[in-house]
Amino acid sequence: MDRMYLRRARNLVMSVMCMASAVVVIIPLVMILFYVAADGLRAINWGFFTNLPKPVGETGGGMANAIAGTFTMVTLATGLSLPVGLMAGIYLSEFGRGRLREAVRFLTDVLNGVPSIITGIFVYVLVVVAMGRYSALAGSVALGIIMIPIITRSTEEMLRMVPKSLREASLALGATEQQTVVKIVLRSASGGIVTGVMLAVARAAGETAPVLFTALNNRYWNQGLDQPIASLAVFIYTYGISPFEDWHSQAWGAALVLVVMVLFLNITARLVVRARQGR
Amino acid sequence: MAILEIVRIRRGKFRRPGWFAFLARCFGLLIAGLMVLIIWEVGRAAWLSIHTFGFSFFTSSRWDPVHDVFGALPFIYGTLASSLLALIIAVPLSLGIAIFLSEMAPPWLKDPVSFIVEILAAIPSVVYGLWGIFVLAPWLRDGVEDWLGNALGFLPFFQGPRSGIGLLTAGIILAIMILPTITAISREVLVAVPQSQREAMLALGGTRWETIVRVVLPYGRVGIFGAVMLGLGRAVGETMAVTMVIGNQPKISLSLFSPAYTMPSVIVNEFSEAVTQLHLSALMEIGLILFAITLLLNIVALLLVRRIGTVPVQGGRM
Least confident span in A241-245, B49-53, B152-156, B224-228: B152-156
A275 interfaces chain B, CB cutoff of 8 Å: no
Residue type, B56: S
Name the DSSP class of A125: I
Q: Above 50 in pLDDT, residue B310? A: no
What is the structure's pLDDT at A57?
73
Q: Above 50 in pLDDT, residue B14? A: no
Q: Taking Cα atoms as reference points, which of A223, A227, A235 lies closest to residue A137?
A: A227
CA distance B186 to chain A (A): 14
Q: What is the mean pLDDT of chain B?
A: 88
Q: Above 70 in pLDDT, residue A217? A: yes
What is the structure's pLDDT at B10?
58
3-state secondary structure of A225: coil
CB-CB neighbors (< 8 A) of B38 in chain A: 114, 118-119, 122
Q: Above 70 in pLDDT, residue B6? A: no
Name the DSSP class of B63: E
Residue type, A117: I
CB-CB neighbors (< 8 A) of B41 in chain A: 122, 125-126
Q: How many CB pairs under 8 A join A and B?
A: 295
What is the structure's pLDDT at B307?
65
Q: Above 90 in pLDDT, residue A235? A: yes
What is the structure's pLDDT at B275?
82
Q: What is the mean pLDDT of residues B260-281?
A: 92
Q: Above 90 in pLDDT, residue A253? A: yes
Q: Are B229 and B195 in contact (CB under 8 A)?
A: no
CA distance B72 to chain A (A): 17
The minimal CB distance from B268 to the residues A31, A117, A176 is found for: A117
Q: Above 70 in pLDDT, residue B3? A: no
Give dist(CA B147, CA A159) in Å, integer: 54
Q: Above 80 in pLDDT, residue A26? A: yes
Q: Above 60 in pLDDT, residue A149? A: yes
Q: Above 50 in pLDDT, residue B196? A: yes
* Cβ neighbours, 10 Å, residue B269: 13
Main-chain phi, psi angles of B63, to 5 degrees: -120, 100
What whole-number percentage of chain A has pLDDT above 90?
Answer: 69
CA distance A107 to chain B (A): 6
Record: fold of A44-278: MetI-like fold (1.10.3720)
**A5: CB partners within 8 A, 6+ apart:** none
What whole-number percentage of chain B has pLDDT above 70?
Answer: 91
Give dist(CA A182, CA A192) in Å, integer: 15
Q: Are A81 and A200 in contact (CB under 8 A)?
A: yes
What is the structure's pLDDT at B97?
96
Q: What is the mean pLDDT of residues B223-243?
A: 95
* Cβ neighbours, 10 Å, residue B88: 11
Question: What does the angle CA A15 – CA A18 – CA A21 come to, to the nearest 5 degrees?
Answer: 150
3-state secondary structure of B69: strand
What is the structure's pLDDT at B13?
45
Q: Are A60 and B155 in contact (CB under 8 A)?
A: no
What is the structure's pLDDT at B254?
86
What is the structure's pLDDT at A174?
86
A102 interfaces chain B, CB cutoff of 8 Å: no
Question: What does the angle CA B131 – CA B297 – CA A103 come to, to the nearest 5 degrees?
Answer: 120
Give dist(CA B183, CA B171) in Å, integer: 17
3-state secondary structure of B64: strand
Q: Are B136 and B245 in contact (CB under 8 A)?
A: yes
Least confident span in A27-36, A267-276, B238-247, B274-283: A267-276
Query: Exposed (0-12), middle (13-18) or buried (19+): which is B50, by Cβ within 10 Å?
Result: middle
Domains defined for chain B, CATH in brackets:
74-306 (1.10.3720.10)
B293 interfaces chain A, CB cutoff of 8 Å: no
**B207: CB partners within 8 A, 6+ apart:** A7, A8, A10, A11
